[in-house]
Structure 1
Amino acid sequence: MALSEIQIKNAKAAERPYKLADGEGLFLLVKANGSKLWRMKYCYRGKEKLLSFGAYPDVGIAAARELKTLARAALAEGKDPMVHKPGRDFEPEKTFKAVAEMWHKNRKSSLDPAHAKRVWSRMERDVFPVLGERMMHEITPPEVLGVIRNIEERGALDISRRAKQSIGQVFQFAIASGLCDADPTAHLRGALKPRPRVKHMAKLPLALLPELINKLDQYNEEGERRSEITRAALTFALLTWVRTKELRFAKKHEFEDLEGNSPLWRIGPDRMKMHREHIVPLSMQAASLAKDMIACSQSDYVFPGQKRGVPLSENTMIYGLYRLGYHGRQTVHGFRGLASTWANEQLVEVGQPPMWIRKYHEDWVELQLAHSEENEVRGAYNAAEYLAPRRAMLQDWANFLDAMRGKTGNVAILRAA
């Protein structure tokens, strides 16, 4: 039954808010403080939503019903009244998607193309379906949090944080451009689900490296050739800091200048986690090992599998470590952690009075590990960046591993001279 003006005027505040229905989804919300607000409940694409038409008596009963009629007309045309809101002009150039397009175009040239593509794909997949047609100044913190929660529900907690970051950057761009006054993501601090504790791949303390290297040098399994390939693959992974997949599918044509002074391994973007080319400068030891394997392999693969024309199997290397007694103690991926720990702990003495500084810059280490860098400045990655210092770092690492051979027991890891 429709409300009357007298009913609305006589509605008194109660301990809790309550509703007075007017019909077709329109109702008056009477709050505990006495304010009276017009609301309209409706369903759009299977989702229940709520429109706000303002407060009574500023918006009278006739005006509220007119706004309801306009909203229902928008629904009949397949439009969301939340976007095409009754009572105001729709400005396409001020929607979230339109502003996001301007933001992305403004910064795209300074980004690594692969990184730029990932950012835009996240927006298209997770953000635009909810916020794309909303006017910038009408988007609220709960709406943004709803987008984040949808991503969190599928367990993608890193993606949810990156989506929040991108949404916030769009709003900062809009504020600077005079298109809105506030960033709703600023109010979400502490609302996002915490990341689960990272489970790192098993790795030994550096002091136990001599034992690992000596066992690896003596590795043996059924079939002499199979032992050589497994031993070589594990040694090459330790020398180069690459992932198992990157190594298993290594092909002969990817290696350059193995006889020269600047040997390197060029891994194509299709095999890299971040889908961008990765150049691995090779130490003399790694280049020698690659050259030997290429000469012996009757396949295009540097580390061939048991069947002709296929690469080393996915489990060969980890099972090799199991045979050496490292089940649960050391993984192939953990070699990367061993190398990173070593590189980050190396110090050199400089200046007067003397002081200790890092021998290897953190960017050299991260680039050698081909880690993701979401920061838009550092994410502009060049595959050959820091090639000379990374080559020197890997040569030092290979020499360090050689120095471990034949040693027994724990070895103290000293500062670099």
Structure 2
Amino acid sequence: MPLTDIAIRNAKPREKPYKMGDTLGLFLLVQPTGGRLWRLKYRIEGREKKLGLGTYPDIGLSEARRRRDEARALIASGKDPSREKQREKVRATLDAGNTFQAISDEYCAKRKKDGENGWSPATAKRSEYLLSQLRGSIGKLPIAEIEPADILAAVRKIEKRGNLESARRTLQLAGLVFRYAVATARLRSDPTRDLRGALTSPKVTHYGAITDPKGAGELLRAIDGYEGLGITKLALQIAPHVFVRPGELRQASWSEIDLDAAVWEIPAERMKMRKPHHVPLSTQAIALFRELHEISGPQGFVFPGVRTRARPMSENTINAALRRLGYSTDEMTAHGFRAMASTLLNESGAFSPDAIERALAHGDRDKVRAAYHRGAHWKERVEMAQWWSDYLDQLRKGADIVKFPDREAG
């Protein structure tokens, strides 16, 4: 006979536990202490088993029957409800530890150790900072419980502050964390995949750069007249000759530079593409480095900071010096020396585009092709380095005509 709420409420404890049966295997176990426990008796694979469904009165009669029906549905599909309950407990424990913040930290640690594809220190620092802005909103949530709306609300807080590019990049990084969770079997799918187009697109801006010969000559003459710190002036003078990225220049150490061999070898960990880069040095660049060697050599940073030689010059030093010379951010930046070299070298027609790309240390996705280019264009790059420095000298003097070297046919 099925149980009733009145019968359950009137049940009195006895010296030994006893059962009050309902239907379809459901019963209430009344304990001598007065506790009442819902149990389901069932058979699976020929074995009799029991499943706990909760305690009365926390779980009423109707809820107990609903749980019984769910368990029987599992049995009908060939699943053991006791085993599924245990799996759910394990899953809940894992979810509690698999918060967005925990997996984000794990992902960042992995990317910093990803060999040649690993993040550079600058990229790691920036990425970790952007992801840290999600801590207050979704950081403590189990990653499997995070919905697209949760992520959108979090990144829109960044967007509302006017940081459109940071919001876009943070959403992108969050997507990488979610996809890492999918790849490590802790999430079924990436919830950011449906958020494309949800944020306001930032206006694309380019580094200010002077790319015409006349303007380049005026800039070089202005640099020669710079009246600030000697190391800063030498950094400004060297930058156009080597046209490496600003971070690669300011963090240069004397151990990387061989003035006798006329080459500067930048290690992979300091390169954006995570591959070592060799820079051939012209006679002009060598002369400037020798002058600098008298100031900051023979060990440590080539361009040490003002307060301590244990750290390189600030990332803002060259840009601040350009502002002091009267060039606005839109006109010229430290990164602009690369655009200047790329534009004028390509316009010269004197060197192959592949050699120019190698000199700029742009990545090549084809590893075989990249290895070939490193060796095949070194001689041309050495020639190009000297030609480029000679060309800069002529521009500095205001020369209108520059003789280009003859290129071999084929």
TM-score by length of 2: 0.51
Contact 2:277 2:361 in 1 (8 A): no
Q: Does 1:164 align with 2:163?
A: no
Secondary structure in 1 aligned to 2:213?
helix
Taking the TM superposition and a 5 Å limit, the aligned residue runs for 1:200-279 are 200-208=206-214, 211-212=217-218, 215=221, 219-220=224-225, 232-242=234-244, 247=249, 253-260=254-261, 262-264=262-264, 266=266
Name 1:284's counterpart in structure 2. 282
Q: Does 1:91 align with 2:92?
A: yes
How far has the Cα of 1:259 moved from its partner? 1.1
Which amino acid letter does the alignment assign opposite residue 141 of structure 1? P
Secondary structure in 2 aligned to 1:359?
helix
Secondary structure in 1 aligned to 2:210?
coil
Q: Which has the higher helix share?
A: 2
Contact 2:171 2:192 in 1 (8 A): no
Which amino acid letter does the alignment assign opposite residue 396 of structure 1? M
How far has the Cα of 1:238 moved from its partner? 0.9
Name 1:39's counterpart in structure 2. none
Contact 1:208 1:409 in 2 (8 A): no
Name 1:57's counterpart in structure 2. none
Map Cα deviations across residues 165-195 of structure 1 (whole Å, 9 max, x no partner): 3145236526xx5953x43222111102312
Taking the TM superposition and a 5 Å limit, the aligned residue runs for 1:378-393 are 386=374, 389=377, 393=381
Alpha-carbon distance in structure 2 between the residues aligned to 1:307 and 1:94: 48
Q: Does 1:358 align with 2:358?
A: no
Taking the TM superposition and a 5 Å limit, the aligned residue runs for 1:81-230 are 91-93=92-94, 97=98, 101=103, 104=107, 109=114, 111-112=117-118, 114=120, 126=134, 130=138, 133-134=141-142, 136=144, 138-153=145-160, 155=163, 156-170=166-180, 172-173=182-183, 177=185, 180=188, 182-198=189-205, 200-208=206-214, 211-212=217-218, 215=221, 219-220=224-225
Contact 1:346 1:415 in 2 (8 A): no
Contact 1:213 1:401 in 2 (8 A): no
Compared CA separation, residues 412 and 276, structure 1 to 2 (3 A) = same
Secondary structure in 1 aligned to 2:355?
coil
Alpha-carbon distance in structure 2 between the residues aligned to 1:308 and 1:122: 29
Which amino acid letter does the alignment assign opposite residue 180 of structure 2? V
Map Cα deviations across residues 1-20 of structure 1 (whole Å, 9 max, x no partner): xxxxxxxxxxxxxxxxxxxx
Secondary structure in 2 aligned to 1:189?
coil
Alpha-carbon distance in structure 1 between the residues aligned to 2:362 and 2:192: 31
How far has the Cα of 1:258 moved from its partner? 1.0
Secondary structure in 1 aligned to 2:142?
coil
Percent same amino acid at aligned positions?
A: 22
How far has the Cα of 1:343 moved from its partner? 5.5
Q: Does 1:403 align with 2:391?
A: yes
Alpha-carbon distance in structure 1 between the residues aligned to 2:168 and 2:297: 43
Compared CA separation, residues 254 and 162, structure 1 to 2 (3 A) = farther
Taking the TM superposition and a 5 Å limit, the aligned residue runs for 1:321-340 are 326=327, 329-340=331-342
How far has the Cα of 1:399 moved from its partner? 1.3
Secondary structure in 2 aligned to 1:169?
helix
CA RMSD in angstroms, aligned pairs only: 5.8
Compared CA separation, residues 117 and 298, structure 1 to 2 (3 A) = closer
Compared CA separation, residues 240 and 160, structure 1 to 2 (3 A) = same
Which amino acid letter does the alignment assign opposite residue 215 of structure 1? R
Which amino acid letter does the alignment assign opposite residue 294 of structure 1? H
Compared CA separation, residues 394 and 365, structure 1 to 2 (3 A) = farther
Name 2:6's counterpart in structure 1. none
Secondary structure in 2 aligned to 1:259?
coil
Alpha-carbon distance in structure 2 between the residues aligned to 1:157 and 1:413: 48
Which amino acid letter does the alignment assign opposite residue 93 of structure 2? P
Which amino acid letter does the alignment assign opposite residue 258 of structure 1? L
How far has the Cα of 1:131 moved from its partner? 6.0
Map Cα deviations across residues 180-235 of structure 1 (whole Å, 9 max, x no partner): 3x43222111102312432x443223332563376258x3477xxx7986654322
Contact 1:220 1:227 in 2 (8 A): no
Alpha-carbon distance in structure 1 between the residues aligned to 2:143 and 2:321: 59
How far has the Cα of 1:290 moved from its partner? 0.9
Map Cα deviations across residues 89-125 of structure 1 (whole Å, 9 max, x no partner): 5533357937985994998655426579666776566
Which amino acid letter does the alignment assign opposite residue 292 of structure 1? E
Please tell me whether Structure 1 or Structure 2 has the larger radius of gyration of its CA atoms. Answer: 2
Alpha-carbon distance in structure 1 between the residues aligned to 2:129 and 2:304: 36
Secondary structure in 2 aligned to 1:166?
helix
How far has the Cα of 1:292 moved from its partner? 3.5
How far has the Cα of 1:336 moved from its partner? 2.7
Contact 2:257 2:265 in 1 (8 A): yes
Secondary structure in 1 aligned to 2:204?
coil
How far has the Cα of 1:236 moved from its partner? 0.5
Unaligned 5+ runs, structure 1: 1-59, 68-87, 350-356, 379-384
